[in-house]
Amino acid sequence: MSVLPLKGLVVLEFSQYLSGPSAGLRMADLGARVIKIERPGSGEAGRKLSIKNLWADDGSSLLFHTINRNKESFTADLKNAEDLDKVKQLIRQADVLTHNFRPGVMEKAGLGYAEVRKLNPRMVYAEISGYGKRGPWKNRPGQDLLLQSMSGLAYTTGDAGKGPIPFGLSIGDSLCGAQLVQGILAALIRRQKTGQGALIEISLLESLLDFQFELLTTYFASGKQPQRSQVNNGHSLLSAPYGIYATSKGYIAVAMSDLQQVAKAVQCDDLLKYTQNDAFSKRDEIKQCIADHLLTNTAAYWQQQLLQAGLWAMEVQNWQQLVQLEGYRQLQMEQPLRMKDGSVRTTTRCPIRINGQKLFSPVPAPVAGEHNKTISREFLTSIIA
């Protein structure tokens, strides 16, 4: 593998749980040296955030390993003057610092941006909050489900007339981590030109509002809440047939398609009476017609009919089905991790390819404090001496 683009960069990660560590993971995949700064003993709080009681051999949760692989760990008590001095020495030599603590926490520890900038003017200081650092919500808990709920996102999923439905994963954390990396990379490019660091700020709420830009733009223009379909809702701004439909065996997703073409492809005479002008005004009625008809055969059959007609449709897969498919195997998305006890766990690799090469790394997440000696020898020579 040729030299990774971020090789040589040192990132100090004060982040915990998902959003901040996911940003560190991506930078580590791209070659950065990511050092987690953790509390002595227990490490960061995310080590105990379990996925269905799946734990690694070091007592950390498997979730922790999925987003902290390929990193190093340095433990320090920020309330201890000697440890804090060590951290400040690391800051003087690092390129990027990330944290996702509540507003004021890093400042209280003496590591807010103003203090860090004095230690290292070239530092790219990147922070994630729940709701921003100012305003009446700044101290509310920045947890993904709570942000999905109050940002309006939970009302984009599910059928009209039914309650709000959250995403089945922590979408806010993932988006926010990815956008933090974008900001960091932009700041690093500017630093290369000017020599100056930067303060990068993002919040979970801002990420989720940005995620809904289509719906919010429509709302700002009309003043009306976008309406979900009563039947097989897929996207509140899109007309029939857009949605997921049950069949006699399995489910099928049908995207934007001409109604007349769909009617001919699936041999549905009742659908022929509708024109494309009806696609939104009679959306629920049309979707119900399609839903009733697709129950007469299997998802595999309907997919074949629709694809042969050049229409956008795909059989809905669960993970057991997906991993058996050749298209999935060709992607080589599975990343084995060599755990400390010799066992192998599997997660997903970095999705980015560079010059045609996929990015793999079998290095698992570190044990808390695992690299204290190595990092001290390399960065803290004055203390050792």
Which fold would CATH assign to domain 10-211+332-384?
Rossmann fold (3.40.50)
269 included as an active-site residue: no
Please tell me whether the peptide bond between 241 and the residue prior to it is cis, using omega within 30 degrees of 0: yes
3-state secondary structure of 29: helix
What distances in angstroms separate CA 373 from CA 49, 234, 377, one per listed residue?
Answer: 27, 53, 6
What integer pLDDT is reported at residue 385 of this predicted model?
35
3-state secondary structure of 72: strand
Share of the chain above pLDDT 70, in %: 96
What integer pLDDT is reported at residue 341 of this predicted model?
82
Two tokens, residue 174:
């993932």
Two tokens, residue 122:
């070239």
What pTM was estimated for this model as a whole?
A: 0.90
Distance of CA 12 to the CA centre of its chain: 20
Matching residue, tokens 């996911």: 22
Instruction: Tell me the per-residue pLDDT of 14-27, one tens digit each, with 9 for 90 and over.
Output: 999 999 999 999 99
Burial 253-285 (b: 16+ CB within 10 A, else e): bbeebebeebbbbbebeebeebeeeebeebbbe
Residue boundaries of the structural domains of the chain: 10-211+332-384, 251-315
Catalytic residue, chosen from 173, 210, 269, 292, is: 173
Cβ(215)–Cβ(228) under 8 Å? no
Instruction: Tell me the per-residue pLDDT of 143-192, one tens digit each, with 9 for 90 and over.
Output: 999 999 999 999 998 899 889 999 989 999 999 999 999 999 999 999 99
SS (H, E, C) 125-141: EEEEECCCCCCCCCCCC
pLDDT mean across residues, the chain:
93
Contacts of 234 (CB under 8 A, 6+ apart): 242, 243, 244, 253
Burial class of residue 15 in the structure, from the number of CB atoms within 10 Å of its CB (0-12 exposed, 13-18 middle, 19+ buried): buried
Q: How confident is the model at residue 3 (pLDDT cuts 50, 70, 90)?
A: confident
What integer pLDDT is reported at residue 58 of this predicted model?
64
Given the DSSP bridges, would you call strands 33-38 and 72-75 parallel, antiparallel or unpaired? parallel
The torsion of the CA quartet 140, 141, 144, 146, rounded to 10 degrees, works out to: -60
Quote the CA–CA distance of 333 and 328 in Å, as a whole number: 8
Q: How confident is the model at residue 50 (pLDDT cuts 50, 70, 90)?
A: low
Bridge-partner residues for 253, per DSSP?
244, 314
DSSP secondary structure letters along 211-268: HTHHHHHHHHHH-SPPPPPSSS-S-TT--TT-EEEE-SSSEEEE-S--HHHHHHHTT-
What integer pLDDT is reported at residue 288 of this predicted model?
97
